[in-house]
Structure 1
């Protein structure tokens, strides 16, 4: 069962779900919960309706493409280069928050997207 189906079926983060998370993402459950606590944000840009997800990290925000990509070092190092796992804590937290509706929505004009990219770029 996928993480999405599991959390959707549960409807909450309970002890049983945390045990499941520990099995699929060993020794990272606390890290995922910390990202959830810090916050996941869905930014919507208008009129293009561009959607950009962000996860709060230790040193700023991380750009997240759900189920595909995160701009954090852990994703690059352990998912792309070393192929140790399929996702990072930010990707996992984003999926959980999206399913449970536990994220903040910010609305911006398209002209503000360039500023966002500059901010994210400065994190590299």
Structure 2
């Protein structure tokens, strides 16, 4: 396999995932009290494997908070970790502060997203987050705390 072929695979999975999440958002927009369709669940599970099942557990556990910048509208999520009191700062499509993101997503390219990224994305689409509007500098401080 050439380097270009290997680089294209995660991008294609990310595009397929974006399409699934768009389908889910559209479906729930038209059917707000409906369950998630089995075909979309199956597609997401196929794309993300074990991380999808783990993400569903995180969403079911609750506690995901979406912080929205007052002026920019930027969204950053705080997603609970496995241990009580642990949490991770997440940009669903681009970043998570967890070790799995660094190791499996960035380092080895074995996954397109970690369970926290998927949980944030799912919770956002399903309306399972608490939303907090904050000054934009608060989001910057949150990021600095987790990158230091």
Aligned equivalent of 1:26, options 44, 49, 52: 49
Runs (5+) with no aligned partner, structure 1: none
TM-score by length of structure 1 reads 0.75
TM-superposed deviation, 1:103 = 1.1
Matched residue SS, 1:28: helix
Query: 1:42 offset after TM fit, Å?
Result: 1.0
In the aligned structure 2, how far is the partner of 1:29 from the partner of 1:75?
14
Is the 1:41–1:103 Cα contact (8 Å) retained in structure 2? yes
Q: CA deviation at 1:41?
A: 0.9
> Does the Cα contact within 8 Å between 1:18 and 1:29 map onto a contact in 2?
no
Give TM-score, length-normalised by structure 2: 0.65
Alignment RMSD (CA, Å): 2.8
1:71-82 superposed matches below 5 A: 71-82=97-108
Per the TM alignment, residue 29 of structure 1 is displaced from its structure 2 partner at its CA by 2.9
Aligned residues: 122
- In structure 1, what is the Cα distance between the partners aligned to 2:107 and 2:137? 35
Unaligned runs of 5+ in 2: 1-15, 29-34
